[in-house]
Copies of this chain bind each other. A is one copy, B any other.
Amino acid sequence: MTKPKNAFYAQSGGVTAVINASACGVIETARQHQDVIGKVYAGRNGIIGALTEDLIDTSSEPASAIAALRHTPSGAFGSCRYKLKGLEQSRAEYERLIEVFKAHDIGYFFYNGGGDSADTCLKVSQLAETLGYPIQAIHVPKTVDNDLPITDCCPGFGSVAKYVALSTLEASFDVASMCKTSTKVFVLEVMGRHAGWIAAAGGLASTEQNELPLVILFPEIEFDQQKFLARVDALVKQHGYCSVVVSEGVKTPDGKFIAESGLRDAFGHAQLGGAAPVIANIVKDGLGYKYHWAVADYLQRAARHAASATDVEQAYALGRAAVELAIKGENAVMPVIVRETDSPYTWSIGQAPLSEVANVEKKMPRDFIADDGFGITDKCRTYLQPLIAGEDYPPYKDGLPQYVRLKNESVPRKIKGEFKL
């Protein structure tokens, strides 16, 4: 019997509350199949770890530490923003990958990321054909942006959506209490540079039983200042207050991000980031209402303390499925979430060829956004609702979540010389 090949696992791009749950699924499942998969080596700081032969030996972590990944946000092995280009432009990098894979007897490549990573993963899956190195590459989906095609949703998104929905709910209750003599408009800025999936989740805070005066600003809808002010004013006149959920990707009619449209520091430099203060200023100047604003930034995607149980379960299941696909001999595929029914929500794991995933962006359908452009439709609600369902609290000690930090022991280097990134 031949010695089983080792696996390489890496986290790519912005991290999430549940990407480590996928890592947990990959590693726990691989450990159950040591006849087929040897050790799981993780890339320190993502694919950079492979390029620089900076590998982490996950086999030195006890089962309890790996299990704790399921409830630990962020990327336990480090992630990176580093895009491999096509084989022609980045041939040296692909050759280096092969050199490292060969040196460490790696036959499986698990890449946990979004659209760009799917593209890289596809290219790695073709190394057998293109550069003669046999490897199976499986992509594990992850992105808070929820913009991967085919899969019903992307791990990481459900937990951000839950955070945004409950933050919108809680802040709206706060403003409702204060509006008689103080704050009347609250503005919450959320992520989503290209798509309004995350902003849409704010709409879940308002339900039939508990209607809230909300205005959502989507990147898909050109910002119309007069229409926006009229809507805010009407809601404040009717309810006494309103909450605005603004996507960081909202643009002015001239195509600029609204966050870059106004603020300057004392030296006249454009102040990047901050759609919320710009919107709050527009409200103040246009209507004179007292406002407050918040920018959730990393808090939203790191909020494992308020993660969606559905999201955690799916993230883990996709990690597990990736290994199972590898064991079945698959290559160039991504396990996906298949929605079976909306209510009760049921789902299963399917698979998609990477060629249909790479570089395809799933936009938010126009019929998920209300006609006036300021809210979500019932169709959108039906889609989003199950994704935030269920709580999966991390264990706490002394008042804080007990997140794990792995030892992250290095695999001894086998290759002489440095690789220049």
Contacts and interface: CB of A to CB of B under 8 A. Distances in A.
A265 B281 contact: yes
A174 B302 contact: yes
A341 to B, nearest CB: 16
Contacts of A186: 297-298
Interface residues of A, number: 82
A294 B299 contact: yes
Nearest to A304: B170
Contacts of A229: none
A165 to B, nearest CB: 6
A289 to B, nearest CB: 14
How many chain copies does the complex carry? 2
A81 B181 contact: yes
A170 B398 contact: no
Interface in A172-231: 173-178, 180-183, 186, 188, 204-205, 207, 210
A177 B79 contact: yes
A264 B271 CA distance: 9
A183 B74 CA distance: 13
Given A398-B389, A399-B389, A74 B177 contact: yes
Contacts of A106: none
Interface string A157-172: 0000010011101110
A101 to B, nearest CB: 21
Contacts of A178: 14-15, 75, 79-81
Given A265-B281, A295-B293, A74 B176 contact: yes
A305 interface: yes
B303 A293 contact: no
Interface stretch (A56-64, A147-155, A332-340, A400-408): A400-408
B73 A170 contact: yes
Contacts of A74: 170, 173-174, 176-177
Interface string A271-313: 1011011101100000000001111111101111110100000
Contacts of A48: 180-181
A47 to B, nearest CB: 10
A80 B182 contact: yes
26 contacts: A15-B174, A46-B180, A75-B177, A78-B176, A80-B182, A81-B178, A81-B181, A166-B305, A166-B401, A167-B299, A167-B303, A171-B302, A175-B298, A186-B297, A205-B400, A210-B403, A263-B265, A273-B292, A273-B293, A274-B277, A292-B298, A293-B295, A296-B299, A385-B398, A388-B399, A388-B400
